[in-house]
Structure 1
Amino acid sequence: MRKENDDIIRLIVRSLRGELTPDEEVLFISWKSCSKANEEMYRRLEREYKEHAEYALYKQFDTRREWAAVEKGIRKRRSVHRLYRVAIAASFLVLGIASYILLAPEKENPRQLAKVLPVGEYSFSKKASLILPGGDTLQITPVMKDTLIERLPFVSNNGEALVYHETSGSDTLVYNTLEIPRGGAYSLQLADGTKVMLNSESRLRFPQAFNGDTREVFLDGEGFFQVAKDAEKPFIVHCTDYKVRVLGTTFNISAYTSDDVSMTTLVEGRVNVERGDTRVLLIPGVMASVTRSGITTREVNVDSYISWTKDQFSFSEERLKDLLKKISRWYDVDFVFDNPEIEEYKFSGFIPRYENITAVLQIMEQAADVVFKTSDDKKITVYDSHEKVH
């Protein structure tokens, strides 16, 4: 199985580089055309290969040698699970390929999950609830295009986002709330043209139309904002105990009330993070962390904090406990740890956001010494792979 996997990975890498020989191209086309899953996998990897910031590192990647280094590094360090000595771009490529191969239905997976997850459960999809002023709730999905027109003639659903159109509003602000459940995500375009992408388990309260001297919304959870410029009307995002003030810019806020730290990461423009009498100006590439003790800032790799908007999950030296908290929101599951020490294991790398959590867990089992066991009540227990699974 490992030899066959390596051969397929080598063909895919050589195809992405444009280095296939005529004989290899025949084998590659045969593999790609044998299933829709293979075709979709290659399209996704090809897109990542072209768009990834570390593109040049792929050209230095020797599949078998570097993958062996990954495994060797993992075995040596059980407490810190890194994708060792491999450029992030290269390791993502291998893990992405390996995960699809492991899921290929015609092949036997040498390292099954402790219990196979049923298709259709523990999955991610685009969905949301729109809560109207009177409390009525409308369920929003991509297939419900333009079905809001009877209730809300100034709102349309294009299958990707709810779009609020400008209206001749009154002096009174009328608020709607877009609520994203666990295992879901959806986008929104406000009446002023501002675009917001909301992550799982998030809520955004916003006016149907803006008036007055400011544009103000209220966030609980995570949102990626592309604010329409209006020098006369600052845009303000209110979180639990602080706010972010902008004129026109692109930024990400993660402000779940269940998290100890709230984070605002600036992509473009300028924003002020304000808490009480404290005001901190951010420039692109800087993240502000808000805790009970105050506001701190540091330079970060912005792509890591907005990767969720591209259906990816990026993490760097992140505790397994924190990593799985985010994954639990994506797929509406709960993780429990067999041993508290496992919570402190640290991970670095990329994981694509697959429709089903099975692929994510298989990647993590392959990349580190952990095993997942599922139950019928949406609970997944995490074990050290060297310990006996109950």
Structure 2
Amino acid sequence: MDAATRRARLLLLLVAATVPAGLCQTNPDDVAALRAVMGAWSNYPSSWNSGDPCGAPWDGIMCAGNGRVTSLRLSSVNMQGTLSDSIGQLSQLMFLDLSFNSGLSGTIPASIGNLAQLTTLILAGCSFSGGIPKELGNLLQMTFLALNSNKLTGTIPPQLGLLSKLFWLDLADNAITGSVPISTGTTPGLDLLTNTKHFHFNKNQLSGTLTGLFKPNMTLIHILFDSNQFTGPIPRELGSITSLQVLRLDRNQFAGAVPNITNLVNLNELNLASNKLTGSLPNLSSMNVLNVVDLSNNSFTASVIPGWFTNLTNISSISMSSARLTGEVPQELFNLPQLHEVVMSKNQLSGTLTMPGSIGAQLQTVDFQENVIVDVAGISNYKKTLL
């Protein structure tokens, strides 16, 4: 059974286990918990003023046939207030989504860790502050955790590494500090998340190295670690995660040579810009589906533009500013059928820049500013932006 079929069956089971609010009477404990949660909010839906959450019904509420609340979804309704500890009393809750209510603030209550049935927690786009509760590590059924775009601080709890069913982990766009926790003999870490597809940790203040984080048996699709303060080398184990499609490590302080990543044949976006990388340019010749590459602002060994670029027939954007490129620009670069932009400013490219007669129809921007190119030939062949 493939992954898509498994997800479809899981959705059908979830739907079968719930009934629309209005067909049953709510469990009294759940009524009390919801009213306590509502008491910390303003601007909640008017339906929440009626008598019975499942029987009335209340907007955003789904219930099981036994009157237990299984889902609370109130995304983008402009609510204000805090999230009450009483949320942890909804013991059968499977789905909690309060995302994109920027007026929701305060801390994320540790009592969420009591929701043993919870599979999905989406608190993205709010104004929650304070640390990520370590009690989230109790939620062993969790598959989707999105806390991005808040004001969270502190470190990543190593207990998140216990969430072995996790598919999606998004902590991006906060003010989280410290290193990414790695397991030891006595404590868990995120290296244990071998079933997770998405690591979104970008736009934080994370630091330290990534040594020990990645394992060959991981099934990651997206690694978004850009805009942090990571140091040390790019782990060589990354080159073994062949499922990877998007790798963003830009705007950090990674140093040393780029490891062998030729096995990443499913990669469609690679961004290593604005680090302290040295050594040779990475060999991308096997990445036939690569769409976007940015290697700008590093300290690679001076070299000519790699010839294998012309084999990347799906490439749409090439950015290699301040990458210590030398020599002439190969005409074949401009023939790539999907190429939309090529930016190679602030290098030592020289000679004549020749625009061939057969330029890719998608090409919109060509930027070779601040090089030592002495002439441009075939300019009449190109009608778009040439810098």
TM-score by length of 2: 0.28
Q: Which has the larger radius of gyration?
A: 2
Higher helix share: 1
Larger relative contact order (C-alpha < 8 A, sep ≥ 6)? 1
TM-score normalised by the chain length of structure 1: 0.28
